[in-house]
Structure 1
């Protein structure tokens, strides 16, 4: 089964009112197989989110929409294992992906279990988990491709720990 790592950037935290502005998918070898900005259908400004990921309305003005990219994304993940850091968040914006994938794993939950720190109200952020495993950021944190690569690094670290006697 192929394994892919997915990350998104959004206009905010709520799938009912916010939208995707970037998506990236990385394969198990660390190749970026999908990395694109997305033009929101409704949102015209997202200053709070923009301060975090740096993606402006001008950046996405000519980008494809979520619906334009969805067929390619579904073709990639159909029948695959999909690993996402904070899967519930990303899948809130992409519920079709959860159905298409053969298996979805939340790297954030596995990381919390590994370090023995479960807290429903405060989870470890991806950059903390990535730093913990010695990941060297290839670009800006809070951009989808870099975050998907960080998720891959954390997941592979956790799998190596599982393999130790």
Structure 2
């Protein structure tokens, strides 16, 4: 399954008030593995960035002045996300802005018509009711290092959200065997750090048993059969 972790930064909080997208960051996963493919672009919104929004992402009007308009990047962006499952933290916010941008230029369907959407914020609230579930809180809860994240950025947030998503949806995440720790007591604030394997790592070597080893294995099962009546390894299910 192809999945795209997506985040946007904007000039403000409501597209109905004329606010626009100024940054898009997407990271691709296939089969729950990062592929190293991504889509990242800054967009000139043809309007001022609100001061409150600037304090969140640090993207200035001056920086955006020479960036492309949305209609110039729309096709490449649409082609990257089309048909994928989008993983978004607080999906209605980002999808609302994206649909608004596509509607402004015309000729594009709504995102829900071409993509599945997984809202990781909704999932986190169900998994951790009554707790903080913003991205920083989830990083702390799942042991993900985001110390390099001083300001929000769409591509960086997408990469971090990808790690959070894999840990939230992947069941057991560590094999800590020490005793007396918070981890052993079931406290999910310290479930162990994520160690991402390289997408281009070599395949593991398959070592098959020799004829002699197979013979010794059968002899051991014969002994177990004799002592217990029948070994579990020879029961056909």
Q: 1:115 aligns with which of 128, 135, 138?
A: 128
Long gaps (5+) in structure 1 = none
Structure 1 segments, 4+ long, off by >4 Å, are none
1:68 aligns with 2:72: yes
1:77 aligns with 2:66: no
* Structure with larger Rg: 2
> 3-state DSSP class of the match of 2:68?
coil
Q: 1:143 aligns with which of 148, 153, 172?
A: 153
Q: Distance in 1 between matches of 2:172 and 2:122?
A: 15
How far is 1:99 from its partner? 2.8
Cα 1:79–1:5 change in 2 (3 A) is same
Cα 1:126–1:48 change in 2 (3 A) is same
Tell me which of the two structures has the higher relative contact order, counting C-alpha pairs closer than 8 angstroms and 6 or more residues apart: 1
Q: Distance in 2 between matches of 1:51 and 1:85?
A: 20
Contact 2:58 2:151 in 1 (8 A): no
How far is 1:115 from its partner? 1.0
Contact 1:140 1:146 in 2 (8 A): no
How far is 1:13 from its partner? 0.6
Superposed, which structure 2 residues align to 1:70-109 within 5 Å?
70-95=74-99, 96-101=110-115, 103-109=116-122
Cα 1:31–1:135 change in 2 (3 A) is farther
How far is 1:46 from its partner? 1.7
Q: Distance in 1 between matches of 2:40 and 2:91?
A: 18
Q: What TM-score, normalized by structure 1, do the two folds share?
A: 0.86
How far is 1:27 from its partner? 1.1
Contact 1:86 1:107 in 2 (8 A): yes
Report Cα offsets for 1:29-81 as digits up to 9, x if no partner: 0635111111003x224211111100000111111122222211111111111
Q: Distance in 2 between matches of 1:32 and 1:53?
A: 23
Long gaps (5+) in structure 2 = 100-109, 174-237
Matched with 1:131 is: 140
Contact 1:126 1:151 in 2 (8 A): yes
Contact 1:32 1:145 in 2 (8 A): no
